[in-house]
Structure 1
């Protein structure tokens, strides 16, 4: 399949939304590293518009981009490049960029009194829990860990499966998802997932004990990988995305209505809580399909900004949450209104992310540390921008 620019734009948009969502976490009553002085219950309503589908969408577009890369190089080269592009930035960030997050969380929630220098040199590398916070930590970069593991699993399955069996299974899945099955099959799987997980199950983002997450995100990644060469499924998306959009809006209407009836920490009755979960799962999958359909219909064209934005996504992802947590903690001392805090957080995060990317891409030894390809001799850093299938 030729390059699909709509999927590039969808990936860029998904991560722009992720950054805005994490800024929202400073204001919503849900638990997070640091919070505004008076969290706002109503912020949960717009947050829930994206809460159900933002992570499945990220894994779908990452799977799609990974499949594009997999088809361009040998298996050994692909595995080596994935390790370099994902694990090197992960280790770098865990050592130098992420520690500010648990330090601030410990101060905000547990009264930790040590300076950052003391925390980083004496406490962060203890490899144990401090007041329930495990250090060192990968924090928001759990996505990178899961992406690498899922990629290796898919490559391993492909490696041990005969080519004829692969082709047969691909045709079977393409036929299964080429009609209403595009909606029915994934939603049925999500219903099974909901029944297995139970009402109080939560994602841990710790990899080894996180089946709640794996049952949702690994199939999403596989779907994205499979979608790279699935003409029947693409045809179904083009036929069904408007229906999916309507179902996603209906699901969100139920979710928002229940949230407004039982806001904040108020626990809804069991039957309404179950309806909330079911509507949220339907909203999530249908929104993913609708967004892919929109990207295919309206965004499948190139633009001069696309290569740079495609390259900038991963550095933005690596640094954005540390900027938000640090800036949010700093803002608390000024007792500003939530509106002023929001404007400052957005400005600080956007400026910090751009500075991190624009400076880092021009310094050769920093490029692999922030998830960028090394520029070849005689080739500018800008020209080295390639899709990498990562956040």
Structure 2
């Protein structure tokens, strides 16, 4: 390796603190992203009394890659847990419990305020929350365009469970088949094709019907699965491939520059075409290419930065890494409920933004520390039943020692 390029910060078997910091940072940005949606002209379950077209530009800086990054991190972490598990069956049991229990708890207890706020603010629903919970939420139907009950933002956990089943199925393949799949993927991505192959794959996935608009319906979301499942499997490969890590170490700076160019292209497109203008198909392809470039290259750049600069311990890493999954479970409910309470007060937009961010942070901390302290609540919020003395870094995926779900 030439001295011009930084080698990965540690061997494949070592713990990777950089991935923890990357997940923590990605989730902090996710809170800001969801609060930003309240003030944007884009669809969201709750809207501020005032919306601003310019809010789209900071949102576009994150929109193309935030979810794909989290699936890649989850794949990396899942591969680490599977490698340490006593067997494939034990791994699967652990994943089903660590992700499935918070999912069911979230759908039954945490999520219900979200569709109620949505129905009340956007659909004219005039019943109280308690009435909604007792009479409407658990009726398994389409209620004025809103499916109840719902997993809302917990769709990420549902998809992660599904992709975990795919990983288990791959693990059950004959060893020679698994080796061939690994070697083929590694050969394709450990050289100069790392960037163009990733960009091309995302471009083709988002050419499928639905494009960049995920519907969060597990069985009818082909274009989303075409993007997110390979990203999850890329994370699995990255955990096991020194060659791909070295390729990222060589190319992350170029990837960062291309990601910025992709963002500029997407922003120019947003600025030139109004949301309600019908755009000729010929103008759609440059947008798709720019967005695919931004998406893949931002992820490669962030992996390179995490490996080069962030792979070190920090005072708050243990707590923050463990808190990510509980924060993810509760954060969107807090945003919608706080926003609902603020709406009649007509606060100044800056005040509204500050209260939403601070209230979500404080409420998420209370949810995490309260659930962590009460033993029976720990598995409900995605924590292990008993606390460990030391927090392992990203060697454990969303729902293990530390979880990084979001969106």
Shorter-chain TM-score bucket reads over 0.9
1:19 to 21, 31, 41: 31
Q: CA deviation at 1:4?
A: 1.3
Structure 2: distance between partners of 1:86 and 1:140: 14
Structure 1: distance between partners of 2:284 and 2:49: 28
The DSSP-based 3-state class of the residue aligned with 2:389 is: helix
TM-score (norm 2): 0.91
Counterpart of 1:181 in structure 2 is: 193
> Any stretches of 5+ residues in structure 1 without a counterpart?
376-380
- Aligned in 2, Cα 1:384/1:369: closer, same or farther, shift over 3 Å? farther
1:6-50 Cα distance to aligned partner (Å, 9 max, x none):
111111111111111111111111111110012110000110001
The 8 Å contact of residues 77 and 397 in structure 2, kept in 1 or not, is answered as: yes
Name the count of aligned residue pairs. Answer: 384
1:306-356 Cα distance to aligned partner (Å, 9 max, x none):
111111000000000000000111111111121111011011000000010
The 8 Å contact of residues 98 and 138 in structure 1, kept in 2 or not, is answered as: yes
1:281-292 aligned within 5 A: 281-292=292-303
TM-score (norm 1): 0.95
Structure 2: distance between partners of 1:355 and 1:309: 13
2:381 to 370, 383, 386: 370
Whether 1:303 aligns to 2:303 is no
Q: CA deviation at 1:191?
A: 2.7
1:356-388 Cα distance to aligned partner (Å, 9 max, x none):
00111000000000000011xxxxx36374554
Whether 1:116 aligns to 2:129 is yes
Structure 2: distance between partners of 1:196 and 1:60: 21
Structure 1: distance between partners of 2:293 and 2:256: 11
Q: CA deviation at 1:281?
A: 1.2
Structure 1: distance between partners of 2:95 and 2:56: 36
Counterpart of 1:50 in structure 2 is: 62
Counterpart of 1:193 in structure 2 is: 205
Structure 1: distance between partners of 2:388 and 2:44: 36
The DSSP-based 3-state class of the residue aligned with 2:147 is: strand
The 8 Å contact of residues 71 and 232 in structure 2, kept in 1 or not, is answered as: yes
1:197-216 aligned within 5 A: 197=209, 202-216=213-227
Structure 2: distance between partners of 1:214 and 1:233: 23
Structure 2: distance between partners of 1:31 and 1:18: 16
- Aligned in 2, Cα 1:203/1:346: closer, same or farther, shift over 3 Å? same
Structure 2: distance between partners of 1:202 and 1:171: 33
2:99 to 78, 81, 86: 86
**Which sits farther off after the overlay, 361-370 or 186-195?**
186-195
The DSSP-based 3-state class of the residue aligned with 1:179 is: coil
The DSSP-based 3-state class of the residue aligned with 2:39 is: coil
The DSSP-based 3-state class of the residue aligned with 1:301 is: coil
1:245-260 aligned within 5 A: 245-260=256-271
Counterpart of 1:378 in structure 2 is: none
Structure 1: distance between partners of 2:247 and 2:102: 37
Whether 1:319 aligns to 2:330 is yes
Structure 1 segments of 4+ aligned residues over 6 angstroms from their partners: none
The DSSP-based 3-state class of the residue aligned with 1:102 is: helix
Structure 2: distance between partners of 1:286 and 1:66: 23
Q: CA deviation at 1:198?
A: 6.3
Counterpart of 2:239 in structure 1 is: 228
The DSSP-based 3-state class of the residue aligned with 1:259 is: helix
